[in-house]
Structure 1
Amino acid sequence: MTIVTTAELKAHSNLSDDEDDVLLDQKIAAAEGWCAGYIGASLVDLDPLPAGIREAILRIAADLYENREATLIGASGSTLPFGVTDLLGPHKVWSF
């Protein structure tokens, strides 16, 4: 069970059909796992989920859906979609 819904990702990505719902669910799960690892906390413990984290999940999941291959031809690539670390930074749990 993911925190961000398939309907939210479809709205974010301007998708209307149900063809790729299973794939979208996988991308959401991967994005949520990455975000939880980055901030160092379980997302289910954050109730309500901060808007910045929700936006970061949507950006990562949409990027994973749109760029399913590890290679880009004729375009410049980046590790993460623009602004993701800025959105997650305030929620990062620091430990020393």
Structure 2
Amino acid sequence: MALTTDDLKNQINMGTDGGDAIDAAVLPTVLAAATRHVENFIGYALDDSEKLPEGAPADLEHAVLMIAAHWYEERETVLVGVSGQEIPFGASQILGEYREYSYGG
């Protein structure tokens, strides 16, 4: 998987020349955390050539960027006074298509 902080900057409409020192520190961390979260959720690494012989598909990369952008924008654990709803066909639905399930055994 070859997502970069520039990809994330584009996702959050920052532009590749935008940001400051805080963004320079936060963006790579958020992108790495989102990548790890997706890998843990689906049960394998995004660079696993057995599971993804052609590399990570665009929808999985998009899910990583969606999660990373959300985590960048919402850095706190609680939102107060905000009403929200998960976007249909968002990251959870994309990841569900790739998740490996195992049952006791």
Task: Name the TM-score, length of structure 2 as normaliser.
Answer: 0.78
- Equivalent of residue 79 in structure 2, options 55, 72, 80: 72
* DSSP 3-state at the match of 1:41: coil
Structure whose CA Rg is larger = 2
Deviations 1:19-54 (A, max 9, x none): 112211000011011100110011111342111111
In 2, Cα distance between equivalents of 1:58 and 1:66: 12
In 1, Cα distance between equivalents of 2:19 and 2:46: 26
1:4 Cα deviation from its structure 2 partner: 1.6
Give the ranges of 4+ consecutive aligned residues of structure 1 lying more than 6 Å apart after TM superposition: none
Partner of 1:10: 9
Partner of 1:36: 39
Q: Is the 8 A contact 1:3 1:44 kept in 2?
A: no
1:77 Cα deviation from its structure 2 partner: 4.9
Query: Structure 2, unaligned stretches of length 5 or more?
Result: none
In 1, Cα distance between equivalents of 2:27 and 2:19: 10
* Structure showing the higher helix proportion among its residues: 1
Query: Structure 1, unaligned stretches of length 5 or more?
Result: none
